[in-house]
Structure 1
Amino acid sequence: MILILILQPTPTIGLEEGYAELFYRSVTIYAPAVAKTEEGFIGVATTITVTVQNGTGCSGKVFVETAPLTEVDMQGSARLAVSVASSLTGIDASSYDFFFVIKTDAPIIGGPSAGAVMTVATIAALEGWELDNRTMMTGMINPDGSIGPVGGIKEKIDAAY
């Protein structure tokens, strides 16, 4: 019995026609937040991880996972962060999916104040930048890419220390 094998090159699994390579990057950054306690308001650190990937089925979707729960405006900030990052970098967001994982000790996460830091993390993931995790920032991201005012600055400064 003679066995003849014919080997043909096959595309790498997970790559879609038109993509030079599979793109998957994660960036973790920290942001100050405000938590309400029985004693009043305190600053707490929040960890935000943004993962960007391309491939089969990617179409610009934005996924947000939080621990604990989140208010709707936080989810809106993630979507706006992707839109602004796409606009500022010139990278078409519809070719990627975006995953935001947000963890904090606050009982609920809300408000627009993480919008700017989520935008920076999204740009860093898209562009391959490394971020200095000794730095925190706060600020609402506006559709034009400018950073707007937020509250709780004193508590957020405390969280940074």
Structure 2
Amino acid sequence: MRSIRLVSSVLAPLLLVAMIVVATAQYVGVRSIVLGLPAVNEEGEGVIIPARIYLYYPGSGIVDAKPSNLVASDTKDSVKVAYYYAAISTEHNPLDYDLLVNFNTSLSVGGPSASGFIATGIIMLFEGVELPINATMTGMLAPNGLLLPVAGIPAKVVAASNSGYELMVIPATAAVKLPEENIAIVRVCSVDDAVGVLEGLKPLTINVNVSVAKEVFGRIASRFVNDTKFFMRVAEEIAKELHPSQAETVKKFIEYANKALENRDYYSAASLAFVAAFNASMAYIMSGKDVEKLWQILGKPDEVRAKAARYIEATRLKFEAAQHVGIWGFEALAMAEVRLYLSETLAESEKPFDQVISVLRAYTALSWAKLAYNKLKPEICEQIEKWHSSFHQLKW
């Protein structure tokens, strides 16, 4: 059994950012593990993408994901985060190894939703533990090891069940109604918990204040509902300016978002609405239309960034003034800070594509900041499961 020391949790986010090394190495040892990664295709259907992770020794910190032409940059970045977290949390020097993740697929691979499972797999490689062949997992890794909710979990559950998996690990905070399938679902709070489950151990437990349940889930649900409606409205307005074939693609994602809302899958709804707005904006720019009209719909880049920065600063001051803060609330604030930073790195670019990405990142930064409730802290995973039994009866 393994425990993550406090110093690892504190230093990991800093080291993740600091360690970027490019080199070559001759390997004397290699370990590998195969993961069945749940994903969602462009039609909104669940699929399983096989991926083999190779851990090479000795190395120099090289991290790669292939096929290069199919793996999006955000997925490559999430693989790096997963590797550095797994190495640091198991007290290995990430600069002593190299890592390759080979996705066995002809589909485009994007997003960070597999990063939690990839981190779990790498940890098991470091520990020399085999992954049960009947188990799979989904969830985004946070830099401190928490497992965050992702989109499309119901579709992924169906795909996992249809593929013969008997156990699926999902984030404990995934506030979504799951379909009735012949597969066991285990909710966990962190990657460390996931490793424990897959190694046959009992997840960690932490003292809990049950009274915050409705307030916490109410905040999360209402935030995602608001985000969904905003991005759908933006996408619909931009789609009016597009060629019918382009508009049809945007409308398809809006339909997916509406369906997710109906199923009370709020995180998926917000994610799909975001994709609709992104695709609509990119199609608008590619058509060569007046960019100023796009900013009238989407929001002027400087103004959106400034609004996000002001809200994040105000939230940070609240955290600094509080005598005690919850780690989950602090994590949300950290996510907001990272997204604002990514938005601001593109602020000086004159390319309309970069400005669209900058604006959308600023909106996501604002959304995370509004989730940064300073009393939001870890709870017992078993207790969170109980909350889910009554979650769908609550009205927002």
Distance 2:99 2:88 in 1: 15
Distance 1:68 1:130 in 2: 30
Is the contact between residue 68 and residue 103 of structure 1 (CA under 8 Å) also seen in structure 2? no
Q: Deviations over 1:55-93 (max 9, x none)?
A: 3xx201001113871211110111001111012101111
Q: Deviations over 1:23-69 (max 9, x none)?
A: 31001111110001xxx3100001121111113xx201001113871
Partner residue of 1:160?
160
CA apart distance, 1:104: 3.3
Partner residue of 2:119?
119
Q: Verify: 1:130 aligned to 2:136, yes or no.
A: no
Q: Which of 41-50 and 59-68 deviates more?
A: 59-68
Partner residue of 2:350?
none
Is the contact between residue 54 and residue 99 of structure 2 (CA under 8 Å) also seen in structure 1? yes
**Which residues of 2 match residues 10-159 of structure 1 at below 5 A?**
22-36=28-42, 40-55=43-58, 58-66=59-67, 69-104=70-105, 107-159=107-159
Is the contact between residue 44 and residue 104 of structure 1 (CA under 8 Å) also seen in structure 2? no
Number of residues of Structure 1 aligned to a counterpart in Structure 2: 136
Distance 1:111 1:46 in 2: 13
Distance 2:49 2:134 in 1: 13
1:45/1:144 Cα in 2 relative to 1: closer, same or farther (>3 Å)? Answer: same
Is the contact between residue 62 and residue 99 of structure 2 (CA under 8 Å) also seen in structure 1? yes
Q: Is there any run of 5+ residues in structure 1 with no aligned partner, and where?
A: 1-13, 16-21
Distance 2:97 2:155 in 1: 35
Distance 1:53 1:94 in 2: 11
Is the contact between residue 67 and residue 102 of structure 1 (CA under 8 Å) also seen in structure 2? no
Distance 1:73 1:148 in 2: 16
Q: Is there any run of 5+ residues in structure 2 with no aligned partner, and where?
A: 1-25, 162-396
Is the contact between residue 65 and residue 71 of structure 2 (CA under 8 Å) also seen in structure 1? no
CA apart distance, 1:127: 1.6
Q: Which has the higher helix share?
A: 2
Distance 1:63 1:119 in 2: 14
Distance 1:32 1:140 in 2: 12
Distance 2:155 2:96 in 1: 38
Distance 2:102 2:127 in 1: 19
* Partner-residue secondary structure (3-state), 2:136: coil
- Superposition CA RMSD, Å: 1.7
Distance 1:125 1:33 in 2: 23
Distance 1:67 1:94 in 2: 22
CA apart distance, 1:143: 0.5
Q: Deviations over 1:103-135 (max 9, x none)?
A: 236x31111100001101111112211001211
Distance 1:126 1:23 in 2: 12
1:104/1:72 Cα in 2 relative to 1: closer, same or farther (>3 Å)? Answer: same
- Moved beyond 4 Å, runs of 4+: none
* Partner-residue secondary structure (3-state), 2:112: coil
- The one-letter code sitting in structure 1 at the alignment partner of 2:67 is T
Distance 1:154 1:81 in 2: 24
State the TM-score, normalizing by the size of structure 1: 0.79
Is the contact between residue 71 and residue 109 of structure 1 (CA under 8 Å) also seen in structure 2? yes
Q: Which has the higher strand share?
A: 1
